[in-house]
Amino acid sequence: MPTALHIASRLHVTPLLNIHHPPFEKLYQNGVYWSLFRERHTRPMTDSYMLKNVRESLTDTDVDGQQGFWLPIIGFHFGRLHGAILSSQTGNPRPDVTALAHDAAYFHDGESTWYYAIGCMLGELSGQLFPATTEEYARWEADRRFWQAHSQRTSHHAADTEPVSIVTTIP
């Protein structure tokens, strides 16, 4: 279990992940504070916020051309994302919030891999705060059965076909 971070005089927040790097931890803490007390978010941030900022953090370099210096700034972005859904009084998710982030309204060509990766990370982190409901599990199971049956029909159909004879003609 991650160690709670001291955000304000009477507010401690448990981060979404175990942090073992002090600069990352400090920036995560600053990000939570920023969302709670500077920007005062009233709804979750978008997944495109994370995509844009993580990508920029990964491409920024320091004076020696090294990226490592900038990587802890990603902690700030995760902290901002986390702080946007929390109550500034309790440090817990606000009752009106049901997800860590909400989907952006659009996708750009060539970015689906980034969205998939960010979505997987946010989904894993979100699961700690918003456990899946019985209805969600039922829907996932129904979807799994549907695609399993579809896969079996498709593979069965392909196995029942005969190979096509290839006739070569010599002019």
Verdict on whether the full-model pTM lies above 0.85: no
**CB-CB contact of 7 with 33 (8 Å):** yes
Residue 161: both structure tokens together: 């076909």
Task: Check if the beta carbon of residue 2 is closer than 8 Å to that of residue 19.
Answer: yes
Ranges 19-23, 56-60, 142-146, most confident: 19-23
| Nearest partner of 131 among 99, 94, 95, 101, judged by Cα | 99
Quote the tokens at residue 90.
Answer: 């309790």
Residue 53 has pLDDT above 50, yes or no: yes
- Check residue 11 and give left, alpha or beta (phi > 0: left; psi -120 to 50: alpha): beta
Contact 101, 50 (CB under 8 A): yes
Give the integer Cα–Cα distance in Å for 31 and 83.
Answer: 7
Here the tokens at position 69 are 């210096």
- The answer on pLDDT for 109 being more than 60 is no
100, 81 Cβ separation under 8 angstroms: yes
Could you give the C-alpha distances from 91 to 105, 144, 159, in angstroms and in order? 28, 36, 57
Which tokens belong to 125? 């982190």
Average pLDDT over residues 81-97: 94
What is the tens place of the pLDDT at every residue in 138-169?
888 888 888 888 778 776 554 444 544 554 45
